[in-house]
Structure 1
Amino acid sequence: MAVSKKRIWGWMSFDWASQPFYTLGLTFIFGPYFAVVATEYFMGTGLDEVTADARAQSVWSAGQTVAGLIIAFTAPFLGAFADNSGRRVPWIAFFSVIYVVAATMLWGLTPDASGLFLFLIIFYIGFIAAESALNFINAILPSLGNDQEVGRISGSGAAFGYWGGVTALFVMLLFFVEDAETGVTLIGLPPALGLDPSMMEGTRSVGPFIAVWYVIFIIPFFLYVRDDPNTVAKSTKLSAVAGDLWNTLKAVAKRKSLLNFLLGSMFYRDALNAMYTFGGVYAALVLDWQTIQIGVFGIIAAIAAAVTTWIGGLCDQRFGPKPVIRVAVWVLIAVSVIIVGMSREQLFGVPLAEGSMVPDIIFYVCGMCIGGAGGAIYASSRSMMVRHTHPDRPAEAFGLFALSGKATAFLAPASITVFTLLTGSVQLGFLPVIFLFLLGLLLLRWVNKDGDRAEWSATSQPLSQP
């Protein structure tokens, strides 16, 4: 059955609306700002700068760890409940409200670090809401086309989202985010709306900006995307939902391709999320970049992500998602090696001249690779999940996908925390990321490039049946 273009564009509008939380919040503006404020806070307790940097990174990673675990163990159950009720849009609306409120409250993190840990919690509440809504968005994807079309739609939607992130980042850098030393924005103007640069109000406005952006651009989704009114609802009693979910989990062990994909993606997506989360923090703590410089880096990375993700979607449509994922993971492994081996003073043990721009240039290139490869992985991984998804249980299936992406969400941040504390080095703290990428690649060897849908769809068995 042909799918309305309005429905497809409405579905893709979620990526455009929500991407600034990741681009501006998690990676390039709020995350680095939090790291700088946290470092100043820990130095105020008597720690030296290097130790304070490491402590700031470990606190940020601890927040991601806890949030990831919450997402992991709620997503499958919420997905099963939504499938049984036949309704997903109300859940997206519910989490959207939490997202908007949490993002707005980020304004309150002042440079004196007042309420530092409270705002860490608030940020990750917003993160949990964004990720939870995304699971239900992904569950709608299988209804938008066949396997080949889904690969292109997924890639186009993700690319559209990255363009949203680029646009939002441009606006913030040009008119709001101030240089900590000069108090002016990228174009030499004071922050808009009379915001006080001495209190970093331009940078702090990133939270309300993310909230307003979402409220405006999510409108097409709620206008054009509806739950199927013909869906036959099943029991939503907790016992019935839990029973269906338990049957699904038992059946996964019997499906070799799905099991290895869930496990493999669990490791490589965990590593990728760590790169997103700590990329800006690394730039701030290791390369001493200011927020504006990190923002420019973010624009370059997001543009690369938008272009490469769109190209990846076309490659996915032609060759399938598996080759796209493998190439992208290898690119990210190379970037991880560079991150571990580079600092402001040296590159793989080779000393650099004082004030050398080599680390800056290399990290800009790394940013392009992270953005491009990460976007391709995101789009093609959900395309691959569609190939393992029964049309009657998409939210439950993508709940499992979220579980696989978050069940070990503590692994990369916790490993980074441990390695950073043990070595006292932000760079060496990235070593576990390389191992996670390699483990994910290994498990992909046993994933059927076409998924396992054909093996059981002919019998019309739901996902929870063997």
Structure 2
Amino acid sequence: MSEDVIAVSRPATAASSGSRALTLSAWSWIGYEATRIPYLVLLKIYIFAPYVSKVMIGDPVLGQTLFARYGFVAGLVGAVTVPFLGASLDRMGPRKPWITACILISLPLLVSLWWAKPDRSGLSVHAVLVIVMALNLLFVYSEILHNAMLGPAVGMSRVGRYSGVSLGVANLVSVAIMTFLLWGFALPGQLHWFGVPDEPLFGLSQASHEMERLIGPLIAALACAGLFMLLRFTVDAPASGETFSRAVRLGSRDVFALIAGLRKQPDMLKFLIARTLYADGFHTLIIFEGIYASGVMGWHGFKLLSFAVVKIAFAALGGLLAASLNARLGTRRAIILQISITVVLLVMVLGITPDRMIFFWPHDPAAQPLWSGPVFRTLPEVAFMLLSGSMTAFAVASIASGRAMIIQIVPPMRVGSYFGLFGLTASTTVWIAPMLVGILTARFQSQAVGLAPIAVLLTLGAIGMLFVKGGDRLEE
């Protein structure tokens, strides 16, 4: 094969050889996503990260600042490595071996989080943050590889629908897991309802935050199950016959050629810039959602877990919403609509505190509760929950639509390279947003002010998408 010819990783024919093969491949691809997303939901957003911030660090503002600083470092490393990973694997073909490597490396790191004890007698805060930073990088690597398998796994005409369905299913799985955690570990001893155990299952201690510390090992078990499904049933790109060293060398050259060639692809360049802006906004929003709710609304433990269940239920609806909007509007119009609504909802959420509704309406925290239940008893709490949940639905929908649009508009044989390129540009700015969050949070001692850059990035991304062509409706 000539070095001047880009290695072609054609979608494997099994995905199109019959409806049964396609369905099995597609649903196993979705099954892997369903075991991948709980890492974001349980560890990065709603349970483990807020626990580290509020309990181990003991100061939500400082916790948000520290997570932002470590996110800055992870973003820099990702910016240097992600594009070359995607391009090199385009040269080699199969993604499964490298996803397997990412999972195997992450397993001991996940299990080690059990020793993130509240009194720091196990892992130190620094050690926990370094481990989470490494896990975030491995997650990004495996995400790039998994996304690149979407076309071969489900068929090009179905990427818009399956991209949304997969996130919907993944979040439904997360809801089921979080409901189990709520019933089996958070509610016992807090509520004496029918069917709720008197004590946490397996003798876990709430005082020692063992439920939160169990998240790492639990995600490790889920990762193994998802990897089995992926390896067993999902269609992968065929091997190209390139050696590893040659693939890395040629893939690196492809990255620079791809960047140089953007001058001749103005629409791709516009999409690249727009997606970089809004993807950075969503990435940063995902990182800090749980920490923000914990710090501003004072939720932790049972209350935060209840909030998370509601949020992820909305996220599941968001994935299904994306599937519908992609089919009706096309991915580009769907993205613009979803981002615009997300920005409006985010601004409203930032204006809610326990004693204020959407910036302008004061609320007496000592007022009569709306109901006698254990959570969401005040008007600001209910408003925060509903608005934040709706925001999550549209955010997840836009993420699903964005992924589908990439698959639709880039050459199939270069999908890994383009995902790597998008990863490069996203990583180039992904450290900037956490840095701004950290600076503004520390400067103004306000978590709401710290998250303001997210709304700006999302708005700029939506405006940029207005000038992009492509992403039209596809007939299945």
> TM-score, normalised on structure 2?
0.87
Shift of 1:112: 1.4
Q: Cα gap change, 1:433/1:229 in structure 2, threshold over 3 Å: closer, same or farther?
A: closer
Match among 74, 97, 102 for residue 90 of structure 1: 97
1:353 aligns with 2:353: no
Counterpart of 1:207, as a letter, is G
Deviations 1:163-201 (A, max 9, x none): 12111211222213478x959999464222112222111
- Structure 2: which 5+ residue stretches go unaligned? 1-15, 368-377
Kindly indicate whether the alpha-carbon contact (under 8 Å) linking 1:312 and 1:376 is maintained by their aligned counterparts in 2.
yes
Pairs within 5 Å for 1:179-198:
187=196, 189-198=198-207
1:60 aligns with 2:78: no
Kindly indicate whether the alpha-carbon contact (under 8 Å) linking 1:301 and 1:370 is maintained by their aligned counterparts in 2.
no
CA distance, structure 2, for counterparts of residue 187 and residue 293 of structure 1 = 16
CA distance, structure 2, for counterparts of residue 127 and residue 101 of structure 1 = 14
Shift of 1:227: 3.3
Shift of 1:57: 1.0
Q: Cα gap change, 1:341/1:311 in structure 2, threshold over 3 Å: closer, same or farther?
A: closer
Q: Cα gap change, 1:427/1:334 in structure 2, threshold over 3 Å: closer, same or farther?
A: same
Kindly indicate whether the alpha-carbon contact (under 8 Å) linking 1:183 and 1:197 is maintained by their aligned counterparts in 2.
no
Shift of 1:403: 2.0
Kindly indicate whether the alpha-carbon contact (under 8 Å) linking 2:185 and 2:206 is maintained by their aligned counterparts in 1.
no
CA distance, structure 1, for counterparts of residue 108 and residue 186 of structure 2 = 21
Deviations 1:389-424 (A, max 9, x none): 212122111111222332211122111111111111
**2:299 corresponds to:** 289
- Structure 1: which 5+ residue stretches go unaligned? 41-51, 452-466
Kindly indicate whether the alpha-carbon contact (under 8 Å) linking 2:172 and 2:316 is maintained by their aligned counterparts in 1.
yes
What is the SS of the residue equivalent to 1:197?
Answer: coil
Pairs within 5 Å for 1:128-143:
128-143=137-152
Between stretches 190-199 and 430-439, larger displacement belongs to: 190-199
1:272 aligns with 2:282: yes
Shift of 1:324: 1.4
**2:430 corresponds to:** 409
CA distance, structure 1, for counterparts of residue 174 and residue 334 of structure 2 = 23
Kindly indicate whether the alpha-carbon contact (under 8 Å) linking 1:148 and 1:317 is maintained by their aligned counterparts in 2.
no
Number of residue pairs the alignment of both structures matches: 440
Kindly indicate whether the alpha-carbon contact (under 8 Å) linking 1:260 and 1:444 is maintained by their aligned counterparts in 2.
yes
CA distance, structure 2, for counterparts of residue 71 and residue 230 of structure 1 = 25
CA distance, structure 2, for counterparts of residue 144 and residue 199 of structure 1 = 43
> TM-score, normalised on structure 1?
0.89
**2:8 corresponds to:** none
What is the SS of the residue equivalent to 1:176?
Answer: helix
Shift of 1:133: 0.5
Kindly indicate whether the alpha-carbon contact (under 8 Å) linking 1:16 and 1:160 is maintained by their aligned counterparts in 2.
yes
Report the aligned-residue RMSD: 2.3
What is the SS of the residue equivalent to 2:217?
Answer: helix
Between stretches 28-37 and 67-76, larger displacement belongs to: 67-76
Shift of 1:239: 3.2
CA distance, structure 2, for counterparts of residue 57 and residue 440 of structure 1 = 24
Runs of 4+ that moved beyond 3 A = 144-148, 181-189, 226-236
**1:12 corresponds to:** 30
**1:459 corresponds to:** none
Kindly indicate whether the alpha-carbon contact (under 8 Å) linking 2:436 and 2:450 is maintained by their aligned counterparts in 1.
yes
CA distance, structure 1, for counterparts of residue 131 and residue 295 of structure 2 = 23
1:30 aligns with 2:41: no
**2:267 corresponds to:** 257
**2:325 corresponds to:** 315
**2:385 corresponds to:** 364
Kindly indicate whether the alpha-carbon contact (under 8 Å) linking 2:46 and 2:304 is maintained by their aligned counterparts in 1.
yes
**1:220 corresponds to:** 229
CA distance, structure 2, for counterparts of residue 7 and residue 434 of structure 1 = 37
What is the SS of the residue equivalent to 1:67?
Answer: helix
Shift of 1:320: 1.0
Q: Percent identity?
A: 24
Kindly indicate whether the alpha-carbon contact (under 8 Å) linking 2:164 and 2:322 is maintained by their aligned counterparts in 1.
yes
Q: Cα gap change, 1:235/1:23 in structure 2, threshold over 3 Å: closer, same or farther?
A: closer
Deviations 1:357-403 (A, max 9, x none): 12211111123223211221111101110122212122111111222
CA distance, structure 1, for counterparts of residue 192 and residue 49 of structure 2 = 20
What is the SS of the residue equivalent to 2:429?
Answer: coil
**1:157 corresponds to:** 166
Q: Cα gap change, 1:404/1:53 in structure 2, threshold over 3 Å: closer, same or farther?
A: same
**1:439 corresponds to:** 460
Deviations 1:89-132 (A, max 9, x none): 11100001122222211111111135011011111211211121
